[in-house]
Amino acid sequence: MANVIVIGAQWGDEGKGKITDLLSRSADVVVRYQGGVNAGHTIVVKGQTFKLHLIPSGILYPDTECIIGSGTVIDPKVLIAELDQLDQLGISTDNLYISETAHVTMPYHRIIDQAAEGQRGDRKIGTTGRGIGPTYADKSERTGIRILDLMDTEGLREQLEWTINYKNAILEKLYNLPPLNPQEVIEEYLGYAERLRQYVVDASLKIYDGIQRRRNILFEGAQGTLLDLDHGTYPFVTSSNPVAGGACVGTGLGPTTIDRVIGVAKAYTTRVGEGPFPTELDGEIGELLCAKGAEFGTTTGRKRRCGWFDGVIGRYAVRINGLDCLAITKLDVLDELEEINVCVAYEIDGERCEHFPTSSRRFSRCRPIYKSFPGWKVSTTNCRSWQDLPKQAQDYLKYLAELMTVPIAIVSLGASRDQTIILEDPIHGPKRALLHADGTPASLLSV
Binding residues (CB under 6 A) for ligand IMP: these are: 12-13, 38-39, 125-128, 130, 132-133, 222-223, 227, 236, 238-239, 272-273
We find the least distance from the C-beta atom of residue 36 to ligand IMP, in angstroms, to be 8
Catalytic residue of the set 13, 75, 310, 332: 13
Residue 230 bears catalytic tag? no
Half-sphere exposure of 411 (CA within 13 A, CB side): 29
13 is catalytic: yes
Nearest to 326 by CA among 245, 234, 421: 421
CB of 232 to ligand IMP, least distance (A): 9
Residues 6+ apart with CB under 8 A from 2: 216, 259, 260, 427, 428
Cis peptide, bond prior to residue 182, ω within 30 of zero: no
Of the candidates 28, 41, 53, 228, the residue annotated as catalytic is: 41
Do residues 48 and 263 touch, judged by C-beta distance below 8 A? no
Query: Closer CB to ligand IMP, residue 272 or residue 337?
Result: 272
HEC profile of 404-433:
HCCCEEEEECCCCCCCEEECCCCCCCCCCC
Instruction: Give dist(CA 183, CA 215) in Å, integer.
Output: 44
Residue nearest to ligand IMP (CB): 273
- Nearer residue to ligand IMP within complex by CB, 71 or 210: 71
Min CB(395)–ligand IMP separation in Å = 30
Which is nearer to ligand IMP, 110 or 432 (by Cβ)?
110
Q: How far is the CB of 337 from ligand IMP (least distance, A)?
A: 24
CB of 240 to ligand IMP, least distance (A): 8
| Helix (H/G/I), strand (E/B), else coil: 133 | helix
Compare residues 8 and 210 and give the one whose CB is closer to ligand IMP: 8
Alpha helical stretches, state H, 62-202: 76-88, 107-120, 132-141, 147-150, 153-169, 182-196
Which is nearest to 30 in space by CA: 225, 215, 197, 242?
A: 215
- Do the beta carbons of residue 10 and residue 224 sit within 8 Å? yes
Nearer to ligand IMP, 361 or 391 (CB): 361
d(CA 430, CA 443): 10
For the chain, how many residues are written? 447
Q: What residues act catalytically?
A: 13, 41
